[in-house]
A and B are shown apart, each in its own frame.
Chain A
Amino acid sequence: MRRALVAVALLASGCSLLFAPDRDEIRRPDASLDAGIDADVFPDGGDGGEDGGDAGYDGGGCTPNEALEVSCSDGVDNDCDRNVDCADPDCAADGYCCDLGRGTTAWTGDLVTFPSWQAHGSTPTAGAANVEFGTGIGQRVHPDCAPLAFGVRLSLSFSRAGGPAQPTHFASLVLAPVRTPRVGGDRTLLADLTLRVSGDGRARLERAGALLGQTPDGTELPVGASDARIDLTPSIDAAGRPILLVSATIGDFALADGEMLMPLTGLVDAGGGCSPDGLFVAVEGRGDAVTIGSALSTRIGSCNNPTQFLSDAMGPLADASLLPPDTGDWRAGGAGEPTLATRASMGATSELSLLFDASRTERSDEIFRFVDFAIAGSFRSNSSGGWLHRTRGAGGHELIGPSPVSSREPAFVVGEGLDPHFVLFARRRATGGDVYELARFDLDDAIAASPTPTPLLVPGRNDDVEIDCVSLRDPAAIALDGRNALFVLFTCERQGEPSHIAGVRVRRDAAAPNGYRVTGAPMTLLAPEIGAYASQGVWSPELVVTSVDAAARRVSFRLWFLARDGDGEVRVGLAYGDVDASEGSSGAPRLGPYPGNPILSAEDPLLGGPCPGGCLIESLGVAATVGRPSLWPDRFGREPSYVFLVERSVFRAGGVDHQLIPLRQPRPSGG
């Protein structure tokens, strides 16, 4: 079901929203993170390198045949942006560009222990890396479903015995939606894809029984081993719907080259016992003329998989002293809306900062009455030994708000050259009600100092620019030129509409009343149209900068957000993007939702599993760690990671529990 949403996401990418996670950027080794990273470390090794040889431009004669490059394997720069196929960021979500050839990762089920695969029918004899078939049809089926939704490369070799041709003998590699063969009939596995080598030396590739390709008439595979390879790559069809393509070769023959196999929605999903979505891998055959002769390798596409989280229950965010003491019940109504920031020294994460908001009265009652929020936080470093609490005065209490006004949803600004931390938040407008504007404050290292908030953006008129929202909430921001220029993201609330995430550029201007001037029109960045999982709103953007291309003045980022579907379920989504940091630029960021969205649900086992009374993801905070973060215990979190703090409310008889649950996700090598 989940995949059905991808099409909508792709279709919704309007002209200002390129579907363009730039994986070249993300993949780059040691990509910079968060604040304070030296951008010069990274030479411009991205798209530019692909341009030189493109003769098509020499005469200035490139005729675009696609507005965005969606044909990502045809060797043509279809949109005439000087980037061909996978070198074009537009193609980053294309299956072909998921890099089956480079840096693939092994499927954890990729153990070529055929003997442990389930045997059926005329039981094939399975040596450690070899399967021979009996006189009747038999199978060996891997007990676990192979995840295919992110692309897979299957490599194996078929061995043909010498002697007279045995056309009724065969051996096949099969991808099936089931793990047991048919009862009655020919007792084969119901296969979505079959690569079959017959005892007469012919090879056929079939899609659900229909021929996709075969070795040419008059040719046969040589006696002995023939290496075969099947690549399954996720892609989209001309109508923007998610599909799985198949390419296959055996020996010197190509059997298929990017043929449509099936809709991605047709894969077996969690409901059918498969997660992530995929199919069962099996070998099937009859007779001794053909054997599966060597190891089967199953490599998963190296599109790093953002749906895979790890518990971080041993990390510092799980420390019981994370939150300041609740002196005087200032956070009795629950704490939430965390924002995280890390800082590195000597190549390792050495500081961790948290801000959150809290209320005296139950925060989930907001639907029934006005709730006032305040902001506080915590700080931990190599030298602090534990969490220090950012509260107003040593006794503990909120840092800012709720007096004189409700202040909530803090967000550290991410990007270069921000020290001390620079924070945006939402605060209630003087007009009252639940109308919020965005404000900012600086957070220095004096833990107990009270910061001074300053307004930043308001609903309606800002200088010469109209922000058409009733209320501005949940900010996030990328520094494009230190604090001189920001790209500010926020949740735009309008009457009668599901919320959406919008963005606007601001630049420091001493003459402006707020110290910043809006320098471009606001733009819609993520809207409910990205998919059914978001049909009732997207909000709460959370940013991490993944790289800064100093030469090209582009800042790449990951953007996590919350999305609500028609059932009221709230899940986490992810988008990739980059934004032009050049002075004077007014362009929109390139931004594309991740095709595997949504990536986290409230009842995920890592969040505590099912909630009998119901539960909701309310918010999350994200930051990136580098090197060997010394804040984590030795055995945990040594690799570069994204660390998350997920706010979940759990409903039970008599009340609501507000949880802050730490998760971790290894960052892809170089991403």
Chain B
Amino acid sequence: MRLARLGTLSLLFLLLLPACDGGGVGREDSDAATPLSPIDGGLAADGAIDAGRGLGEERRGVPGTCYDGVDNDADGQTDCADEDCADDPVCCVANAACCAEARTSASFDAPAACDGDFAACGGLDPALVPFGAISPSFEDGGLVPGGGASYGGVALGPALDPRAVNVVVRAEVEIPSAPCTACIDAAGIGLLDAVPVDGQRVGIRVGVLANAGRGELQVLIADRVIHAESLGAAGVRSLAITLTIDGRATIEGLTDARTLEVALPSALVPAVIGRTDEVPAGAATVRVREASAAFEACDVPAALGRATQPVLPNGASGFRPTSLGRVAVLDTPERRLVVFAHDRALYVASPDAAGRLVGADGAPDLLLTAPEGYEALHDPWLLLHGERVVVYFAGERPDGKLEVLRAEGGPDRSLVLATPAPVVLPVEVDSADGPTVWVEDLAAGRWRMIARVGTGEHARLAELVSMDGGGRFLWARGELASSTVRAPSGDAFALDRDEVAEPALVRVGDTWRVYYAGRSGQRWSIGLLVSEEGSAWRDLGLVLAGDRSGFDALGARAPAPWLDDDGAVRLYYVGTGGDEGAIGLAGPRGTYGE
């Protein structure tokens, strides 16, 4: 499935590629009003014919060559795997090698800690959480895990989202010189599904145990020993587990380090684990002298959690949205504006302290009704132009066709809107909706838009440019075919077999990101495209789908992303159970109490 889609994409990108000598930004110098020649006899033609020369360069700065599914420079390394693309910011999205500096989650150093029961010991890292029917204790410069009928130990800080962070757990484990082979005596480290409560079976996603009772060093995956080797002589063993966002767990401390594939849930707890039972008084046991857990935060757009309750409708009013269209979000110095289509008009609300979307009197406020000549309004998009809010949206004509319109607010970001005016699009556009607009070069009056043009399964997301300040747009690349950003894939297993809609752009670091809604059958999901310069897009696939239960059981659509103060992307979206829609909220796991 993945390959098939990449194949389609590579074709698409070849069509999209500009002249390679001009680099990605060459087009900025050209007159956008003049149809751009997409290919000057360059990549597509040459590459297809002269395979022996490869397809040209594969490097950062040549738009799309790092994510077109093709080994352009024929060096055996394709796309982001090519070292020429190592510093491409688009390749750094969802890439285990492009994560932030490691931060320690929790640690302890036993020689510095006190002796005796763990709970009685002061001065420890407060992020440490002991567990087990028999609680862990410090004895003779090491932690003895305790346990009971199941594991005991210490959680090294809170649960982490291994889809979004690389995790490193380390421990120094001391093997006694005369281990009790008739006892249960094992200690090590692991990543647990949850901090177990008393008597609960401990789910060890990945772990390594120094097991004196069996004289083995064991690797556990999914609670089962899949590798065991001799524990070896007495002394201190350094054990480490590194789990990266691609699901690769590397175990160090064995005779040979091992890398294994691990299924990634949305939360894992790093921990010291073990079990100590039936050990005669005074006998030496395996001890953990020091341990730590650290993580590196990575940029993984699909690692999302979501609020279980919608933010609209909500308890603040009896307002129930019907025929919800796209949602738009804009942070202004005064407040966060959330505009959405409901009942043929546009409404505005803002989150209250509990995150619920409310208007002045609880219910959202009417922002704009359909002007004369239009039956209904859909798909709002907001941007700030100087001190004014500009609203783009789609107006439905009596014949059902959609047009893009814009309305400008008053000074000081007032939401008193001037009379809407249609936006001029290329003449062959018979219907357009879902505009997402940004100002690329304010001084030059150069604005850009990605909108959906056409209808139903023939509709596609296309890129347009304006040189007059956002009232008149032309194909960015001269014609629809080469300006297409995304079209329905036709693949029943892809998120957008039948339809694409509702693109929404957000700037993250050095990248542009377009979240969009895709439909396969009756299921809507949200996908993501990422670009460095805003014209060649890397497909990152699914980021949010129906939850199979709750208000968004059947589908998620209408993404409204924004970059929060913590640097993470959050989304308003429309969730649907198939009968009605509601606005939900998604963000990094744990953000919304899920």
**Contact B201 A654, beta carbon cutoff 8 Å:** no
Per-residue A-contact encoding for B208-235, CB less than 8 Å = 1, 0 else:
0001011000111111111111000000
Chain A residues near B183 (CB-CB < 8 A): 369
Chain A residues near B523 (CB-CB < 8 A): 177, 266
Alpha-carbon separation in the docked complex, A613 to B184 (Å): 21
Alpha-carbon separation in the docked complex, A237 to B494 (Å): 14
Q: How far is the CB of A205 from chain B (nearest CB, A)?
A: 14
**Contact A568 B149, beta carbon cutoff 8 Å:** no
Contact for A182 among B133, B148, B213, B579, CB less than 8 A: B579
Chain B residues near A241 (CB-CB < 8 A): 1, 493
Contact for A178 among B199, B211, B229, B578, CB less than 8 A: B578
Tell me whether B166 is interfacial, beta carbon within 8 Å.
no
Q: How far is the CB of B169 from chain A (nearest CB, A)?
A: 18
Tell me whether B548 is interfacial, beta carbon within 8 Å.
yes
Task: Decide: A654 near B148, CB < 8 A? Known: A262-B521, A566-B262, A613-B201.
Answer: yes
Q: Which of A529-572 contact B (CB under 8 A)?
A: 532, 535-537, 564-568
Chain B residues near A613 (CB-CB < 8 A): 199-201
Write the chain B residue with the least CB distance to A190: B578
In the complex, identify which listed stretch (A58-66, A495-503, A579-587) lies at the interface while the others stay far away.
A495-503
Alpha-carbon separation in the docked complex, A543 to B548 (Å): 36
Q: How far is the CB of B14 from chain A (nearest CB, A)?
A: 24
Alpha-carbon separation in the docked complex, A210 to B221 (Å): 46
Chain B residues near A262 (CB-CB < 8 A): 492, 520-521
Write the chain B residue with the least CB distance to A273: B549
Per-residue A-contact encoding for B265-294, CB less than 8 Å = 1, 0 else:
100000000010100000000000000000
Chain B residues near A243 (CB-CB < 8 A): 492
Chain A residues near B553 (CB-CB < 8 A): 272
Q: Which of A171-211 contact B (CB under 8 A)?
A: 176-178, 180-185, 190-192, 207-208, 210
**Contact A535 B578, beta carbon cutoff 8 Å:** no
**Contact A180 B221, beta carbon cutoff 8 Å:** no
Q: How far is the CB of A262 from chain B (nearest CB, A)?
A: 5
Write the chain A residue with the least CB distance to B206: A566
Contact for B521 among A192, A365, A367, A656, CB less than 8 A: A192
**Contact B133 A536, beta carbon cutoff 8 Å:** no
Chain B residues near A652 (CB-CB < 8 A): 199
Q: How far is the CB of A63 from chain B (nearest CB, A)?
A: 27
Contact for B580 among A182, A208, A495, CB less than 8 A: A182
**Contact A568 B222, beta carbon cutoff 8 Å:** yes
Chain A residues near B563 (CB-CB < 8 A): none
Q: Which of B106-146 contact A (CB under 8 A)?
A: 133
Chain B residues near A615 (CB-CB < 8 A): 201
Q: How far is the CB of B562 from chain A (nearest CB, A)?
A: 27
Per-residue B-contact encoding for A425-457, CB less than 8 Å = 1, 0 else:
000000000100000000000000000000000
Tell me whether B44 is interfacial, beta carbon within 8 Å.
no
Tell me whether B322 is interfacial, beta carbon within 8 Å.
yes
Tell me whether A510 is interfacial, beta carbon within 8 Å.
no
**Contact A564 B521, beta carbon cutoff 8 Å:** no
Write the chain B residue with the least CB distance to A182: B579
Tell me whether B204 is interfacial, beta carbon within 8 Å.
yes
Q: How far is the CB of B180 from chain A (nearest CB, A)?
A: 10
* Interface size, chain B (Cβ < 8 Å): 64
**Contact A207 B263, beta carbon cutoff 8 Å:** no
Q: Which of B541-583 contact A (CB under 8 A)?
A: 548-549, 553-554, 577-580
Per-residue B-contact encoding for A223-237, CB less than 8 Å = 1, 0 else:
000000000000001
Chain B residues near A616 (CB-CB < 8 A): 201
**Contact B203 A568, beta carbon cutoff 8 Å:** yes
Write the chain B residue with the least CB distance to A207: B521
Per-residue A-contact encoding for B290-314, CB less than 8 Å = 1, 0 else:
0000000000000000000000000
Write the chain B residue with the least CB distance to A532: B263
Chain B residues near A269 (CB-CB < 8 A): 548
Tell me whether B246 is interfacial, beta carbon within 8 Å.
no
Among A208, A237, A368, A653, the most chain B Cβ lie within 10 Å of the Cβ of: A368
Write the chain B residue with the least CB distance to A274: B548
Chain A residues near B133 (CB-CB < 8 A): 653-654
Contact for A260 among B275, B492, B577, B578, CB less than 8 A: B492
Tell me whether A143 is interfacial, beta carbon within 8 Å.
no
Q: Which of A577-626 contact B (CB under 8 A)?
A: 612-616
**Contact A496 B227, beta carbon cutoff 8 Å:** yes
Alpha-carbon separation in the docked complex, A515 to B226 (Å): 33
Tell me whether B416 is interfacial, beta carbon within 8 Å.
no
Contact for A271 among B224, B262, B323, B549, CB less than 8 A: B549
Tell me whether A386 is interfacial, beta carbon within 8 Å.
no
Q: How far is the CB of B150 from chain A (nearest CB, A)?
A: 6
Chain B residues near A566 (CB-CB < 8 A): 205, 222, 262-263
Q: How far is the CB of B326 from chain A (nearest CB, A)?
A: 16
Tell me whether A107 is interfacial, beta carbon within 8 Å.
no
**Contact B203 A263, beta carbon cutoff 8 Å:** no
Alpha-carbon separation in the docked complex, A497 to B219 (Å): 10
**Contact B199 A180, beta carbon cutoff 8 Å:** no
Chain A residues near B1 (CB-CB < 8 A): 239, 241
Contact for B492 among A177, A263, A535, CB less than 8 A: A263
Chain B residues near A636 (CB-CB < 8 A): none
Per-residue B-contact encoding for A272-312, CB less than 8 Å = 1, 0 else:
11000000000000000000000000000000000000000
Q: Which of B155-205 contact A (CB under 8 A)?
A: 181-186, 193, 198-201, 203-205
Among B224, B322, B554, B579, the most chain A Cβ lie within 10 Å of the Cβ of: B579
**Contact A184 B199, beta carbon cutoff 8 Å:** no
Q: How far is the CB of B579 from chain A (nearest CB, A)?
A: 4
**Contact A654 B214, beta carbon cutoff 8 Å:** no
**Contact B579 A369, beta carbon cutoff 8 Å:** no
Q: How far is the CB of B249 from chain A (nearest CB, A)?
A: 11
Among A184, A612, A654, A656, the most chain B Cβ lie within 10 Å of the Cβ of: A184
Task: Decide: A369 near B498, CB < 8 A? Known: A180-B579, A210-B457.
Answer: no
Those 10 A-B pairs whose CB atoms lie nearest each other, nearest first? A566-B263, A653-B199, A614-B201, A178-B578, A184-B322, A271-B548, A568-B222, A183-B580, A651-B201, A568-B223
CB<8 Å pairs between A and B, sample of 6: A263-B520, A271-B549, A368-B277, A651-B149, A654-B148, A654-B199
A176-B578, A368-B211 known; 7 new pairs, CB 8 Å cut-off, are A177-B523, A208-B519, A262-B520, A368-B186, A567-B263, A614-B200, A614-B201
Residues in chain B within 8 A of chain A (CB atoms): 1, 4, 133, 148-150, 181-186, 193, 198-201, 203-205, 211, 213-214, 218-229, 258, 260-263, 265, 275, 277, 320, 322-323, 343, 457, 492-493, 498, 519-523, 548-549, 553-554, 577-580
